[in-house]
Amino acid sequence: MRPMTSQLLVLRGRRDAIAQNASESSHRGRQLPQNVSPFHPDPEQEITAEDSHASKRQRARQCYDRTPSPRVYLDDRVIDRFSALPTDLPREVVTEQLYNSRQCFVEMITNVSSRDVYGPRFAHHILSMAVRNPVLLYSMMSAAMLFMRVAQKSERNYMLELQVNATAVRLLSEQMRNPQTAATEANIWAVVALGYSGYVGEIRTGKCPRQSFLKELQSLHIYGRLVINKVHVAGLMQLVQMLGGVDKITTPGMAQVICFADLFESSRCLRRTFMPFVPHTRLYLEADRLAVSVAEREWAESTMGSLATSFTMVWPDPGDDALLALLVVIRDMADFTVVVDNYVEGRFVPRPPVMLTDQRNYVQHRLMSLESLEEIESRRTAPADLQYEACRLACIAYSFLVIFPFPPVVGLFERLAKRLQISLLQMRTGVDASPYARVVMQLWILTLGAVVSIGLPERAWFVDELLPVMVRLGVDSWGQMERLLRGFLWHPKTSERDGLDVYRDVKLKAHIVPAHAQQ
């Protein structure tokens, strides 16, 4: 057999045929020549030590390039959750707005304690729906942007905020065209987000009355400034009716927050509420009264004294249904004033933070559900009590100071002071002709009117009307006047300084009037 020479083998044809031919050629080519040991080195293929080292390095480099690195990177096997969201906004924007939205949802329930579990639970349910619904996602982010703009006291309209709002409105319009997808809870919340965040209302400049610490509960100091979009709110009412009522909403916390939105809007407009009261828990009531312990009442008695006890002297035996409803609301307002006073003094009984939210909203909802004088006279022929309307409006004024401290947006306190002034002018009864108990209540009504109209032109009228009332009652010191006020609804920790300013203005008026009379 002839020895095999080193030749270049070129293979052409199909891959399977090439592999087979190459295998056969390999086996045939491995036959050794005669008189040659299989262990004898081939002089043509002799490798030096230097060449061996270089070839090893080259083979190692090729193997390293082909083999995956054993190192584990931080982004290996990590799911990009933002890629699944129904939005094309940058990840940084979405991350920030989702965080802000969660904070908004938590504070919609309560922001009294960081240990609250109801707020985070509500935020979790809404965010879970938003990741599957682009309408809710964009509406939620639009409302969060407006919320943060108010919280940060910025008056700029950012282009991104306008873009997100426009996208939310467009997507919502597409959903509303389909009756099958219109009345879903995700769309209902999207309408709530767009309806109750139309634009930012202006805060009144100048001096304003003092308010209790509850002005930040549920971020009322921010939501109270947001003016509604009437078109979206009207659509919300229709969606709730299509669903069968607000009590048919199954998402935990959503019905309660919708009722809260209707509550602060009815308080802003001084009208009756549309939505019923839906509590977060069942702990806020005991029997038919607020859940206030005996210890809390005893603690507050040392500072509050005879709170709300003078109303029974004005109406000792009320037979009118409107008066009965008013007195029940006054009793609830007095109970919650006890809670507020104990919180201010740091002697409160531990209770779930959401319980404070339920109690506050329950009292305010009952107050705003009372009939006005016009509504009473329209449904019956018998006239209402001559001081009913003035007392009802004075209770609203007290609520804006202590219970439901609404931010002093432009027009709110002006409208309340004007209505209270009109109700007092329509009484058609002089101070001298009224019983003593009614004159004392007139003192309380006028004082609250003067307090809420601090910094307004209407304040001068209330000061003028207070002068003959104080003369009739023989009030010649602030201590005497405050004792009379405490018999009705009055919280000294909140309104003592403002009340003292009212007393000083009346005394100044009393000194000016005799001086002009002598001239």
- Residue 272 is classified by DSSP as -
- Residue 290 is classified by DSSP as E
Question: What local confidence, expressed as pLDDT, does residue 461 receive?
Answer: 97
Task: Please say if the pLDDT value at position 10 is more than 50.
Answer: no
Question: What local confidence, expressed as pLDDT, does residue 515 receive?
Answer: 47
Other CB atoms within a 10 A radius of the CB of residue 173 amount to 10
| Phi, psi (degrees; rounded to nearest 5) at 20 | -65, -45
Question: What local confidence, expressed as pLDDT, does residue 54 receive?
Answer: 67
Percent of the chain at pLDDT > 70 equals 81
pLDDT band with cut points at 50, 70 and 90 for residue 157: low
Task: Please say if the pLDDT value at position 210 is more than 80.
Answer: yes
Other CB atoms within a 10 A radius of the CB of residue 174 amount to 12
Mean pLDDT score, 131-157 = 89
Query: Which tops the pLDDT comparison, 214 or 499?
Result: 499
pLDDT band with cut points at 50, 70 and 90 for residue 472: very high
pLDDT in tens, 51-77: 566 676 676 666 555 545 555 555 555
Other CB atoms within a 10 A radius of the CB of residue 267 amount to 22
Mean pLDDT score, 368-375 = 95
| Integer angstrom CA distances of residue 342 from 284, 291, 296, 308, 350 | 16, 14, 7, 17, 11
pLDDT in tens, 186-199: 999 999 999 998 88
Task: Indicate the range of 9-13, 117-121, 204-208 predicted with least confidence.
Answer: 9-13
Average pLDDT score, the chain: 84
pLDDT band with cut points at 50, 70 and 90 for residue 229: very high
Which ranges of 40-117 would DSSP assign to H, the alpha helix? 49-66, 91-109
Which ranges of 177-276 would DSSP assign to H, the alpha helix? 179-182, 185-195, 220-223, 230-243, 254-269
pLDDT band with cut points at 50, 70 and 90 for residue 37: very low
- Residue 41 is classified by DSSP as P
| Integer angstrom CA distances of residue 409 from 107, 116, 217 | 21, 30, 17
Q: How far apart are the first and last CA of the chain?
A: 152
Task: Indicate the range of 23-37, 163-177, 215-229, 485-499 predicted with least confidence.
Answer: 23-37
Percent of the chain at pLDDT > 90 equals 57
List residues bridging with 290 in a β-sheet.
Answer: 285
Query: Which tops the pLDDT comparison, 6 or 441?
Result: 441
Angle at CA 244, nearest 5°, toward 239 and 247? 100
Segment (H or E) for 449: helix 436-452
pLDDT in tens, 330-353: 999 999 999 999 888 888 677 888
At which residue do the structure tokens 């101070």 appear? 431
Task: Please say if the pLDDT value at position 455 is more than 90.
Answer: yes
At which residue do the structure tokens 């309560």 appear? 110
DSSP characters for 335-389? HHHHHHHHHHHT-PPP--HHHHHHHHHHHHHHHHTSPPHHHHHHH-SSPPPTTHH
| Integer angstrom CA distances of residue 418 from 128, 158, 414, 427 | 46, 37, 6, 15
Report yes or no: 420 and 397 within 8 Å, Cβ to Cβ.
yes
Cα 429 to the center of its chain, rounded Å: 44
Question: What local confidence, expressed as pLDDT, does residue 442 receive?
Answer: 96
Question: What local confidence, expressed as pLDDT, does residue 91 receive?
Answer: 85
pLDDT band with cut points at 50, 70 and 90 for residue 11: very low
Question: What local confidence, expressed as pLDDT, does residue 152 receive?
Answer: 87
At which residue do the structure tokens 């405490």 appear? 486
Mean pLDDT score, 20-40 = 47
Question: What local confidence, expressed as pLDDT, does residue 22 receive?
Answer: 45
pLDDT in tens, 475-493: 999 999 999 999 999 999 9
